[in-house]
Structure 1
Amino acid sequence: MYQPTYARSAVAVTSLKVVALGDSLIYGFGDPVGGGWIERLRRNWMQSSGPDYALYNLGIRGDGVKQVAQRLESEFRQRGELRNRVPDLMILSVGVNDSARLGRSQGRNFTDLAMFEAEMIALLEQAQRLCPTLFVGMVPVDEAKMPFQKCFYYNHADQFRYKEVTRLACQHYQIPYLDVFSQWLERGTDWYRSQLSDDGLHPNVSGYQSLLEDVLHWQPFTDYVWGTTTNLECLV
């Protein structure tokens, strides 16, 4: 099993190639101002006077874990500075679409939980063989605004089951997992609802900024990228 080392020397880092793969949370749907947390991070890195960081947003709306696994390596193998090489770091974020119930609130899940677990394990194994990997979990939905697009029913109970499968799989493969679902719920109903778009599923402008701040203050991310958890205020 690949054993990633996430701490990097801040002195030694002169460049960093990062790919972010996943669903609409990576894509940034719902943030017409900043383009999502990945785009906000990319802009921050471009504006900084630090190392040469390149960040590729490979998020696709509606993707489930199976779709991300299918395009994992082929996506970045054909892109600019990453052509014919592996990235220095991969950020994954996927799973909420798999949890949706179809047609009615008690309908079947888009992806059966057992199948989801098998597909998630395959995705993590594939990613881990290529490069160090981090996983950013899903945000909680606003259940009162379901269904999404009149046919997709999301709820916290299903979200919890699918994120726990993901978290435990990441734990098994020693891939750091940021439990955004739990963090946002702990901040209270009024708070997390204020961070969501009118569709009740995607973060809004404020939500993506909050998500960026959560990532920037997440120790596995800061340890790998900067080798330190300090001096982040200029990037928030």
Structure 2
Amino acid sequence: MTPLRFVALGDSLTEGVGDPVGEGWRGWAALLVGGFGDVEFTNLAVSGARTCDVLDRQLPGALALRPDIASVVIGVNDTLRCTFDIQSVAARLDTVYAAFTGQGAVLLTACLPDPGAMLGLPGPLARPLARRQWAVNAVVHALSERYGAVHLHACEGAWLTDRAMWSADRLHPGERGHRQLAARFHVLLAERGLTTGAAPSPEPEFPAATRSANLWWLATAGTGWVARRCTDLLPQLLTLAVDELRHRARGTSARLDLRTTAAVSAALAALSVGERRPDAV
């Protein structure tokens, strides 16, 4: 029997950051593999990737592998750039999703937590990021429905506030969190009859990192990781925070939410989301 081909695309979450094994990372996608039985798994995810990187760099190689299952979990890094534009994000995701379903692959997607909330940023800084992540999640929700994706609501649930689920940087799941993601995907796949193997164990294989080890990671690699992804955003984020405070003082904060909703609606309208394509799964 021909092995099932599973290809994972995305950023550091899918690369496995937060779930170290040996000298590298493992992550939720690799943990999910055991539920498929005979499978050929390829992880193309790269830390720091945005939707443009998935479209331009990861998609061609993934399509060449003719996967039976393809996961596309992406978007947080887009929200951390000054060039963020929800219409461009939507267009890229639409192209990527269509390419996989056009080949007959089953698509795995997920909406993701708000990075500002996960980092515990003050309200005026956190709310602009929250709106951006909400916009990305709204687009992912709509396109996942359009293309019949196996979609995981990872932006909600008690796991978000359970520190045992998260690594030291508070942006990436730890081993327990990656296992939770894998297990939740396994449930969704099993409901569709797409996996018959055992679900990933929720219990960690390795002991949790000590507090001193976490602090050392934050002081070295962790701080650099955040800085590299937010450098071009910080000046704009401060401007957005000032705008946030001004609207709050005037009692017009709702206008900012309406502006984001309108931008999402325009992005989806441009893709004619209302009609499913004939080649959708």
Q: Answer whether TM exceeds 0.5 for this pair.
A: yes
Aligned to 2:47: 61
- Of all paired residues, the percent bearing the same amino acid is 23
1: CA distance between counterparts of 2:29 and 2:160?
25
- Decide whether the 8 Å contact of 2:150 with 2:189 is kept in 1: no
Which consecutive segments of 4 or more residues in structure 1 shift more than 3 A? 139-142, 152-157, 219-222
2:136 to 154, 162, 176: 162
Aligned to 1:209: 179
Aligned to 1:99: 79
2: CA distance between counterparts of 1:211 and 1:217?
10
**1:77 CA displacement:** 5.8
Structure 1 139/212 Cα, relative in aligned 2: closer, same or farther at 3 Å?
farther
**1:146 CA displacement:** 5.9
2: CA distance between counterparts of 1:189 and 1:55?
28
Structure 1 201/172 Cα, relative in aligned 2: closer, same or farther at 3 Å?
same
- Decide whether the 8 Å contact of 1:99 with 1:154 is kept in 2: no
1: CA distance between counterparts of 2:91 and 2:177?
30
Structure 1 63/188 Cα, relative in aligned 2: closer, same or farther at 3 Å?
closer
1:36 to 27, 37, 54: 27
Structure 1 77/115 Cα, relative in aligned 2: closer, same or farther at 3 Å?
closer
Q: TM-score, normalised by structure 1?
A: 0.69
**1:144 CA displacement:** 6.0
**1:142 CA displacement:** 6.2
Amino acid at match of 2:85: D
- Decide whether the 8 Å contact of 2:114 with 2:133 is kept in 1: yes
- Decide whether the 8 Å contact of 2:76 with 2:115 is kept in 1: no
**1:158 CA displacement:** 2.6
Is residue 124 of structure 1 aligned with residue 124 of structure 2? no
* CA RMSD across the alignment: 3.0
Aligned to 1:232: 198
Structure 1 35/123 Cα, relative in aligned 2: closer, same or farther at 3 Å?
same
1: CA distance between counterparts of 2:5 and 2:160?
37
Amino acid at match of 2:101: Q
Aligned length: 194
Structure 2: give runs of 5+ residues left out of the alignment. 202-281
SS of 1:197 mapped into structure 2: coil
Amino acid at match of 1:130: Q
Aligned to 2:38: 52
Aligned to 2:84: 111
Structure 1 64/220 Cα, relative in aligned 2: closer, same or farther at 3 Å?
farther
Structure 1 188/213 Cα, relative in aligned 2: closer, same or farther at 3 Å?
closer
Amino acid at match of 2:39: Y
**1:51 CA displacement:** 4.1
Larger fraction in helix: 2
* Deviation digits for residues 107-143 of structure 1 (CA, Å, limit 9, x no counterpart): x4x4211221122212211222123222133244463
Aligned to 1:24: 12
Aligned to 1:76: 62
- Decide whether the 8 Å contact of 1:22 with 1:63 is kept in 2: yes
Structure 1: give runs of 5+ residues left out of the alignment. 1-12, 103-107
- Decide whether the 8 Å contact of 1:139 with 1:180 is kept in 2: yes
Structure 1 213/53 Cα, relative in aligned 2: closer, same or farther at 3 Å?
same
**1:87 CA displacement:** 1.5
* Deviation digits for residues 146-204 of structure 1 (CA, Å, limit 9, x no counterpart): 67xxxx9984333222111111111122223211112x3xx16532x432222221111
SS of 1:215 mapped into structure 2: helix
- Decide whether the 8 Å contact of 2:116 with 2:127 is kept in 1: no
2: CA distance between counterparts of 1:126 and 1:198?
36
2: CA distance between counterparts of 1:143 and 1:222?
33
